[in-house]
Structure 1
Amino acid sequence: MNTSFKAILTLVFSTLLIAGCSRKKDNFLSRNYHAVTAEFNALYNGYNALELGRENLNQSYFDDYWNVLPIERMQISDEVVLPGQSKNEDFTRAEEKAVKAIQKHSMNIEEKEKNPQMDEAYLLLGKARYFDQRFIPAVEAFNYILYKYPASDKINQAKVWREKTNIRLDNNELAITNLKRLLYQEDLEGQDLADATSMLAQAYINIKSLDSAITQLEIASNATKSNDERGRYRFIQGQLYNELGYKDSANMSFDRVIELNRRTPRIYMISAHLEKVKNFDFENGNKLETSELLADLEENRENRPFLDKIYHQIAVFNLKNGSDSIATAYFNKSLKERSPDKTLTAKNYEILGDMNFDKSLYRDAGLYYDSTMGSLVKDSKPFRIIKRKRDNLEDVIYYEGIAQVNDSVLHLVNLSEADRVAHFEAFVQKLKEKAEAEKEEKERQEALKRNNGLVTVNNKTGNPNIPGGLPRQGATFYFYNPTTVAFGKNEFIKIWGDRALEDNWRWSSRSSGGVSNTGAETVDLVATASEEEKFNPEFYISKIPSDKKVVDSIYKERNYAYYQLGLIYKEKFKEFELAKDKFQELLKSNPEERLILPTKYNLYKIYEALGENDEASIAKDEIIKNYPESRYATILSNPELLSGKDENSPESLYEALYEQHENQNYAEVISKCEEYINLYDGEAIVPKFELLKATALGRLNGYESYQNAINYVAVTYANTPEGLHAQDMANKVLPKLANKEFIDESTNLTGHYKVIFSFDNNEKDKMLEFKKKLDEVLKEIKYYDLTSSIDLYNKDTTFVVVHGLKSGQVAKTFNQLLNDEQQKTIQEPYFAVASSNYQIIQIHKNLEAFLNVYNN
């Protein structure tokens, strides 16, 4: 009975309590009930979710130490979020809790809020929206606090957060005005002062007022209660001093970061040390002391997560100090750390590329630039700069590749039979040793598999091979089991071969295997050979070219590559020693006759540039004596031709031919282009003549001739601007020109039309006289603005074309526009054609097909 009475009493008391805690009643019980419930239920859970979201945000944020750090670690995403969606579930939950607190515990009685926790709820609401990057709704929440709760103890926080949001909205000037007013009107202390001044500093940084930002950061670093923030603010101060060029002041700021030591995140201390090294004065500074500092940073075990940055800075320091070999080693060590900092990786590759470029190792430089671009954002400004460098190396890499491969093949061709056997026996022996090692490794792995078994997702008992021997529940991570790792390595080697740990490892040119001088062909042969062939030296010897025509073609291709490399080194890179070596090697290799004279002339110019006057004089006399009728002999005999415009120079001849092309003398252009291509074979002007010839062939003979000629230029001169242009034409223009279907003129009588008068090419005088009369008649025709032109159709026919007609019916009855006197003057037969069909006729030279369909 007592138990029942207590239960009833408790129920009645609870009902009275709930009824007495109405949000509409302004009494002590209601106010405290809703305040306590809001604070320790909805708001408590909401702030927990907010902090969890902030922690995740900080962990996912990657600071870019190559630029001035932002005051606040927060990654702004460009991702579009639809209404009702969120970028982070934790912030969504925090917002929901804030809304719940407002909806269920707000006591807005007589337009006054009686629950003292509501300002906290709106502050949580604004913060959740801010971190969820919904800045306009966040401003609304903060403004509501300022409007509704002017006496709140959170009012200063709300003002600071509103200006943080304004800064995110790029309203920097407004934020500066409001924050300066706040600092003037309120006596802020502690964290409130730190938050206000740090945000003011961020606004100043955004508008490039760096000196004002430094002042505010000093106040913030002294006022903040967080050593994390203090280290960041002081580091940013140092960065700003560097931006202003005050290296001594910057170093003092970095020293203050270093003094914090373990009280602030270690990344700030390491970065401060490295920034001081960047500011090192190589003329007056103590190099030994700085070297020892870098060595200490490298050897400290606590700095292992930052070795990528440390190695890079050691490399840069040694590079500036003239120790190139040490610098190269440390740049490579930095790359091996697999840094998550893409900018750091790109800089390592770029500097290595520049070092190879300075050493004239252009092919290696090109590969490093390729890797650099792989670490940069595509189409960004740094990407375009590196791409421009890389494009300048395209030709030299291409021809160096040809020369290297062909030299390797020719080396094997010229070996005696005994030397060939010895060479490939050594090669096969290495293959056998490698195969034996792979077999032993495979047997070892199979034994491990039998003893331990592969780890499965149901392994709940742990694995003794896991580091530390600790059992792991559920699925075991792949890399914790050496059996699976070794199996994976084996499979990788089977598929890809033995590849170095570097970017772009998939490239076939990077596969390691084979022997020097065998080239990529040997590696490919190994991959395709049967087990019996793979270990038989005679198999490889049988693949060495023996046919004289094949060997001659290899020599020819190699010699042409040498010639092009000589030109590239001489003209593009001004590497006269490299160019001289290539040209001299070419002359020793029994080159084609067409390459000998231009090679000797280029050698003469190189000797002059290097100040080797005796050699230059010998080369000059030889050209004049042995090739007296050549253009080069004329230039050497009459140096004054070089000071003015040489009408016989390839450039002048090309300009004259281009003018002929504009005048529709296509047959003459084609003939002369062929003549000049043979005359200047091997020179840089040849692709220009080829492209001009292709265009003239298209205009004279039609689409098929143009297609063949363009494809020839694209393939034959692939690494020249003309070849690239031809390839672009083949990809983009030719498909659009391929259509030869006429539009139906019987139904489409509107649009642009032309009237065509046809003349035989042998009747040039008659055609010109007719055009003169036609132009006089067209001037007198009223209501139409008509003009005429002469268009070559093919080698036999030329058209006189009337332009400006916009009706098919009018075009077909063109003679009716003329009066009787004019009709006596213009008596030549004509036909009408739509402009689009006329274009097809000119492109495909299919006039007869058109007239068969529309014989008008």
Structure 2
Amino acid sequence: MNTSFRSISVFVFAAFTILSCSRKKDKFISRNYHAITAEFNALYNGYNALEQGRNNLNENYFDNYWDILPIERMEVTDEIMLPGQSKNEDFTIAEEKAVKAIQKHSMTIGGKERNPQIDEAYLLLGKARYFDQRFIPALEAFNHILYKYPASDKINQAKIWREKANIRLENNEQAIKNLKRLLYQETLKGQDLADAASILAQAYLNTKATDSAITQLEIASKATKSDEERGRYRFIQGQLYNELGYKDSANIAFDKVIELNRKTPRIYMISAHLEKIKNFDYDKGNKLEVSELLAELEENRENRPFLDKIYHQVGAYHLKNQSDSLAVSYFNKSLRTRSKDKILNAKNYEILGDINFDESLYRDAGLYYDSTMTSLELNSKPYRIIKRKRDNLEDVIYYEDLAQVNDSILNLVNLPETKRVAFFEAFIEKLKQKAEEEQKAQERQEAIDRNKGIVTVNNKFGGPPSSQIGLPGQEALFYFYNPTTVAYGKNEFVKIWGDRPLEDNWRWSNKSSTGGTSSISTADVLAIATEEELYDPQFYISKIPTDEKVIDSISKERNYAYYQLGLIYKEKFKELNLAKDKFQDLLKSNPEERLILPSKYNLYKIYEALGENDEASIAKNDIIKNYSNSRYAIILSNPELVSQYDKDSPESLYEALYEKFENQEFTTVISKSEEYINFFDGEPIVPKFELLKATAAGRLYGYDAYQKAINYLAITYANTEEGQQAQNIELNVLPKLVNNEFVEENGEVSRHYKVIFRFDKPKKEDITEFKEVLDEVLKNVKYYELTSSVDVYNENTIFVVVHGLKNAQVAKTFNQLLNKEDKRKIKKPYFAIASENYQIIQIHKNLDAYLSVDNN
């Protein structure tokens, strides 16, 4: 009986408690039950998830110390999320917990919220959405607190977070206005003051009000309870002072960061030291003190994660002190740390490229610039600057490589058999040594893989690992189903073959070159060799060319490369000594006749510029004596006539010929271009004449002649600006011009028509006279604004063209637009044609085909 009574009592008490905890009743028990349950259940778990998500954000965020740091460590991406998706599951959990707290524990009775924890739930909801980068929904949550809970103890936090969301939405002016009002109306203290001041500083930074941002950061630094935040705010202050040019104030701010030492993340302290060193006065400062500080930073074991930045700064310090070799060593050290800072890597590569450029090592400089671009964002301004530098080196790198390869081939051609064998035996010894090193490295990797549970089956040296993930004895996966073997195969392919396009004969690295010879690289030879051939000297000896025509072609190609290098070093880089060496090497190499005279003249000019008067005199006399009829000899024999001969310079002749091209004197342009190409053979102006000639040929003879001339230019002068332009025309322009089918002439297809008066073998004065009369007549035509032009069709035919007609029927009955008197003046027959078809007949020279169709 007693037991039954107790059971009934417990049941009645539980029922009474549950009924008393209804969200519809404003009772003491109900309010406290839902407040405690919300706080210590949903909100507790929600804030834990929020904190976990924030920690993940901080761990994955990479600060760019080359720019002003943002106040808050959060990367905003442009990635668009679908409904129900989230950038971070932790924030989704936090949002769900906030919603759960609101749905299950909200007590809105009589239009008033009775649960004091619901405003906290809305604050959590807004923060979760904010960190998940859904700023508009976050703004709604914060505004809900401001409108529904004006007496909440979280009201100031809600206002601060609302302005953080506004700033993320780029409403900076609104945020500044609201935050200034908050700071004026409320007496904020502690972390609330720090948060308000810091976010106001961010708004000022976004609006370029640097001075105001510094002031607010000072307030935030003093008010914050977090040493991590204090270190960041002080560091940003220093950056801003540097931006304004106040180095002393910046150093004071950096000193305050350094004083925090281990209280703040070490990256701030290291970066503060490095920024102070950047501000060092090399003229008046104590260099010994800076050297000792850099050495201390480098040797401190705690600084190992930051050695990439430290090495870079040490390199910059030595570079500033003209210790280039030490600087190069440290920049390379910085690169070997495999830093994740792409901007740092780009700066290291760029500085090394500039050093090599200044030392006239243009090929090496080009390689460093290539590496720089891989660390920069594509098509960004820094990328375009480096690409411009790299493009300027394109020709010198190409011709240096060409000269080096062909020199090596010619040296092997001239070696006696015994020395050839010795040369390749030494080469094979290096191959064996490298193979042994790779074998050992692979064995070490296999041992590591076995320890990790990756078992290799039947793996031979040089082949891909037949690996499987799991227990020994499992059936091996098909090669392409196993990501490990696929990745290995890709890496091996790139190591052996390099980056090859998907095309026929992909194994040949160099299918064609300027001189028309074909050659294969060392990598190609190694790749096609069998295991037996790989270590046989005779295999490599068999690849040495023996055909005299091939050897002669390689020699000519090498000599042309020498000539181009001489011009590039002389004209483009003003490296006269390098240019002199190349021209001298060319003249010793039995060059073609066309290259001898320009090379000697360029050598004369170089000797003169270098003050080597004896050599200049010898070169001058040689040209005058042996090439007395040349333009160079005339100029050297009569220096006082140089100004007179300026009008006969290649550039002046080109400009004069281009004027003739614009006047449609295409026959003259073609014949004169051929003359100048022969006369200036070997000089940089030749590709310009070739391109002008090709364009004139296209205008005079049509598509086929143009295609042939452009193809010749693209192949023969592949590495000149004009050659590259020709390649672009071949690729992008010619395919658009190939169509020669006429369009149907009606209003739906064409809205522009021309009237053509055809003249066969006319005199120039006849054309001029007819056009003058036609222009007078066109002025009298009503309702139409008509103009005329003279267009060359071919060598024998010229068109006088009337433009401005927009109707086919009107064009065909053009004479009906004229009054009786004007009709008497214009009696010559004409035909009408759509603008699209006129373009086709001018491109393909198929006028007869057009006239055979009944269009008029």
TM-score normalised to structure 2 length: 0.88
1:359: how far off? 0.6
CA distance, structure 1, for counterparts of residue 686 and residue 365 of structure 2: 28
CA distance, structure 2, for counterparts of residue 427 and residue 153 of structure 1: 80
1:631: how far off? 2.3
Aligned-partner SS, 1:804 = strand
1:37: how far off? 1.8
- Paired residues of 1:753 and 1:803 also in contact (CA < 8 A): yes
Amino acid at match of 1:455: G
- Paired residues of 1:102 and 1:118 also in contact (CA < 8 A): yes
Name the structure 2 match of 1:464: none
Name the structure 2 match of 1:461: none
Name the structure 1 match of 2:794: 794
CA distance, structure 2, for counterparts of residue 162 and residue 24 of structure 1: 31
Aligned-partner SS, 1:647 = helix
1:651-800 correspondence runs (5 A)? 651-745=651-745, 751-761=751-761, 764-800=764-800
657-666 or 204-213, larger mean C-alpha shift: 204-213
1:316-327 correspondence runs (5 A)? 316-327=316-327
Name the structure 1 match of 2:545: 545
Of residues 452, 455, 458, the one that matches 2:453 is 455
| Deviations 1:433-481, CA, capped at 9 Å, x for gaps | 55566678889999x79x97993599xxxxxxxxxxxxx999xxxxxxx
Aligned length: 820
Asked if residue 344 in structure 1 is aligned to residue 344 in structure 2, the reply is yes
- Paired residues of 2:234 and 2:257 also in contact (CA < 8 A): yes
**Measured at CA, do residues 22 and 711 of structure 1 come closer, stay the same or move farther in structure 2, by a change above 3 Å?**
same
| Deviations 1:752-773, CA, capped at 9 Å, x for gaps | 2223332222555555444444
Aligned-partner SS, 2:806 = strand
Amino acid at match of 1:735: P
Aligned-partner SS, 1:803 = strand
1:201: how far off? 2.6
- Paired residues of 1:405 and 1:520 also in contact (CA < 8 A): no
Name the structure 1 match of 2:354: 354
Aligned-partner SS, 1:670 = helix
Amino acid at match of 1:318: H
Amino acid at match of 2:164: K
1:4: how far off? 5.6
CA distance, structure 2, for counterparts of residue 457 and residue 428 of structure 1: 33
Amino acid at match of 2:151: A
Amino acid at match of 1:254: F
Aligned-partner SS, 1:590 = coil
789-798 or 138-147, larger mean C-alpha shift: 138-147
Asked if residue 405 in structure 1 is aligned to residue 397 in structure 2, the reply is no
CA distance, structure 1, for counterparts of residue 787 and residue 37 of structure 2: 90
- Paired residues of 2:760 and 2:796 also in contact (CA < 8 A): yes
Name the structure 2 match of 1:270: 270
Asked if residue 160 in structure 1 is aligned to residue 176 in structure 2, the reply is no
1:116: how far off? 1.4
1:635: how far off? 3.1
CA distance, structure 2, for counterparts of residue 154 and residue 803 of structure 1: 76
**Measured at CA, do residues 324 and 152 of structure 1 come closer, stay the same or move farther in structure 2, by a change above 3 Å?**
same
169-178 or 306-315, larger mean C-alpha shift: 169-178
Amino acid at match of 2:245: G
**Measured at CA, do residues 767 and 57 of structure 1 come closer, stay the same or move farther in structure 2, by a change above 3 Å?**
same
Aligned-partner SS, 2:267 = helix
Name the structure 2 match of 1:479: none
791-800 or 577-586, larger mean C-alpha shift: 791-800
**Measured at CA, do residues 452 and 138 of structure 1 come closer, stay the same or move farther in structure 2, by a change above 3 Å?**
closer
Amino acid at match of 1:575: E
Name the structure 2 match of 1:133: 133
- Paired residues of 1:749 and 1:809 also in contact (CA < 8 A): no
1:278: how far off? 2.0
Name the structure 2 match of 1:431: 431
For structure 1, the residue ranges without an aligned partner over 5 or more in a row are 459-471, 475-483, 501-505, 510-518
CA distance, structure 2, for counterparts of residue 41 and residue 508 of structure 1: 69
**Measured at CA, do residues 439 and 833 of structure 1 come closer, stay the same or move farther in structure 2, by a change above 3 Å?**
same
Asked if residue 646 in structure 1 is aligned to residue 650 in structure 2, the reply is no
Aligned-partner SS, 2:752 = strand
CA distance, structure 2, for counterparts of residue 398 and residue 629 of structure 1: 34
Aligned-partner SS, 1:427 = helix
Amino acid at match of 2:591: P
Amino acid at match of 1:165: A
**Measured at CA, do residues 393 and 440 of structure 1 come closer, stay the same or move farther in structure 2, by a change above 3 Å?**
closer
CA distance, structure 2, for counterparts of residue 18 and residue 739 of structure 1: 86
Name the structure 2 match of 1:198: 198
CA distance, structure 1, for counterparts of residue 471 and residue 437 of structure 2: 36
Name the structure 2 match of 1:463: none
Name the structure 1 match of 2:46: 46
Aligned-partner SS, 1:646 = helix
| Deviations 1:528-565, CA, capped at 9 Å, x for gaps | 12333333322322322232222222221111111111
CA distance, structure 2, for counterparts of residue 243 and residue 824 of structure 1: 79
Amino acid at match of 1:123: L
Name the structure 2 match of 1:231: 231
Asked if residue 578 in structure 1 is aligned to residue 578 in structure 2, the reply is yes
Aligned-partner SS, 1:801 = strand
1:779: how far off? 3.8
| Deviations 1:665-724, CA, capped at 9 Å, x for gaps | 111111110110111112121111111111111111111111121222223223322222
**Measured at CA, do residues 101 and 737 of structure 1 come closer, stay the same or move farther in structure 2, by a change above 3 Å?**
same
- Paired residues of 2:747 and 2:807 also in contact (CA < 8 A): no
Aligned-partner SS, 1:751 = coil
Name the structure 2 match of 1:335: 335
Asked if residue 837 in structure 1 is aligned to residue 837 in structure 2, the reply is yes
800-809 or 653-662, larger mean C-alpha shift: 800-809
CA distance, structure 2, for counterparts of residue 569 and residue 753 of structure 1: 53
CA distance, structure 1, for counterparts of residue 679 and residue 647 of structure 2: 15
Q: Give me the identity figure in percent.
A: 72
CA distance, structure 1, for counterparts of residue 200 and residue 746 of structure 2: 75
CA distance, structure 2, for counterparts of residue 733 and residue 653 of structure 1: 28
1:50-449 correspondence runs (5 A)? 50-434=50-434
CA distance, structure 2, for counterparts of residue 822 and residue 246 of structure 1: 80
- Paired residues of 1:308 and 1:337 also in contact (CA < 8 A): yes
1:796-815 correspondence runs (5 A)? 796-815=796-815
Name the structure 1 match of 2:513: none
- Paired residues of 2:496 and 2:527 also in contact (CA < 8 A): no
1:8: how far off? 4.6
CA distance, structure 2, for counterparts of residue 763 and residue 216 of structure 1: 83
1:633: how far off? 3.0
Amino acid at match of 2:42: A
**Measured at CA, do residues 746 and 203 of structure 1 come closer, stay the same or move farther in structure 2, by a change above 3 Å?**
closer
6-15 or 652-661, larger mean C-alpha shift: 6-15
Aligned-partner SS, 1:384 = helix
**Measured at CA, do residues 375 and 442 of structure 1 come closer, stay the same or move farther in structure 2, by a change above 3 Å?**
closer
